[in-house]
Amino acid sequence: MTLRELIQDLSPLHMEGNSDCNVNAVCIDSRQVKKGDVFIALRGTQADGHLYVDKAIAAGASAVVVESMPDKFVAGVCYVQLTNTSSAAGLMSSRLQGNPSTKMRIVGVTGTNGKTTIATLLYRCFKQRGYKVGLLSTVCNYIDEEIIPSTHTTPNAVALQALLARMKTVGCSHVFMEVSSHAVDQQRIAGIDFDGAIFTNLTRDHLDYHETMQKYIEAKKGFFDNLKPEAFALVNVDDKRGAVMLQNCAARHYCYALKQDADYRAKVIALYPDATDVVIDGQEITLRLVGDFNVYNALAVYAASRLLGMSREEAATSLSALEPVSGRFQTISSHRGYTAVVDYAHTPDALVNVLSTLRTLMQGKGQLICVVGAGGDRDRGKRPVMAREAASLSDRLILTSDNPRSEKPEDIIEEMKQGLDSDSLARTLSILDRAEAIRTACMLAQPSDFVLVAGKGHETYQEIDGKRNHFDDREVLREFMDNQ
């Protein structure tokens, strides 16, 4: 395909050179450029792609897409100037790949909590019904049965379009994907023809990037603002931001709720340590998921399945067979009579949801011990809030290291402790070594107690000083329990 064909809908401000050159691939990383590729210079949070234009040309780029033209031009290279290059990567990659998203039904899930569970359960739900399905999630990507390791909640635009193209090639009819606020803000999802969007909830997170809650909300809303009229917009109206997402949204509007009237509504009948009995759409269903927050997730899956053409009976049957997602309220029982729960809860709201569910399950019996930390190089304002919420719902609190990244874990813990009063501090231990913190919690646990290990969930690494070292909360728990 020629460069002229790739950029025909991008409205260039200026162009220098021959746009009839053939393009082999679209690149946003100068280190990956090969002869005949086009390099798009993106202004990122860590680096400015314009600083690497010369390297891309030296590597063989036949064209570059920029926001600001260089002082000098290299012969044989076509320069395309755009007002903003952010969307170009997705739009050009999509066109070069044959616009794969138009050949499949694509549903995106956004919100602070619940994205992974909903996207994964939708993938499993449709696999059960015999469809070939794709999944793009924080835990793992799937091209039908093929597993592709995940590095981001939403991949970069070029990688995303390549994955969609492979899904189309193997015959996937549906794709379910997480849509992060970063991906919307950075226009990584440009060029994707969404057939549906799901909003879960919105609470404090990622303010290290968005700076304010308003900007965070606007990023989420931007996803809904760009939906086509034929698509569906499904929102949780028990969250006050649900109605905000639908404002000026051209898609068909639908809502789900537990606490008020909605197009799709669920009622919790009974809660068990490994299941929840609910009524959804007049049908009694036993979910293999625990807690109200998971009922919201299951309800979104049911609603989306119905909107994508499943019958009431098919959707209900599929829902009742679904297993929990790895690292999401994952239980591990000790022969000594206590139960550990591993969960990805890394925001104040998610932590409250999990701890409240455990409190309900305990029915006043035993103690609840919480092991939690906070990620480095991320929203520092939520650290004291997380500690305060954890302490308010736990009998014992152990603050420890999460993924400290470039920060000192002891500094992160000190910031968390700022949210604790004297009574809470008296019930709190600070243990830097996460494995030791988990082992200590297990040693403290007695029969009927629950130990929550929060923050990392499915992750199999701990990121320290730019290096990812193998670490799995579940492995640490099982090893200790086996030898206890």
- Binding-site residues, in ranges, read 30, 111-117, 153-154, 180, 186, 188, 378, 402-405, 455, 459
Three-state secondary structure call for residue 327: coil
Helix ranges (H only) for 321-421 are 348-362, 382-393, 409-417
Q: Which residues contact residue 401 at a Cβ distance below 8 angstroms, ignoring those fewer than 6 apart?
A: 373, 409, 412, 413, 432, 433, 434, 437, 462
The CA distance from 23 to 38, in Å, is 6
The interaxial angle of helices 115-128 and 292-307, nearest 10 deg, is 50
DSSP state of 48: B
Let me know: does 49 contact 40? Beta carbons within 8 Å.
yes
Cα angle 464, 468, 473 (rounded to 5 degrees) comes to 90
Binding residues for meso-2,6-diaminopimelate: 378, 402-405, 455, 459
Alpha-carbon span 158 to 160, nearest angstrom? 5
Q: In the chain, what is the straight-line distance between the N-terminal and C-terminal CA atoms, in Å?
A: 63
How many other C-beta atoms are found inside a 10 Å radius of the C-beta of residue 99? Answer: 18
- Cβ burial of 256 (10 Å; 0-12, 13-18, 19+) is buried
- Cα-Cα-Cα-Cα dihedral of 292, 453, 341, 276, to 10°? 0
CB of 298 within 8 A of CB of 266? yes
Give me 216's structure tokens.
């965070």
DSSP3 helix / strand / coil % (the chain, rounded to 5) = 35, 25, 40
Q: Indicate the helix (H) or strand (E) that contains 439.
A: helix 434-444
CA distance 232 to 11: 29
Rounded CA-CA distance 341/1 in Å is 52
Residues 6+ apart with CB under 8 A from 53: 30, 39, 41, 64, 66, 70
**Beta-strand runs (E) in 69-104:** 78-81
State the binding site for ATP.
Answer: 111-117
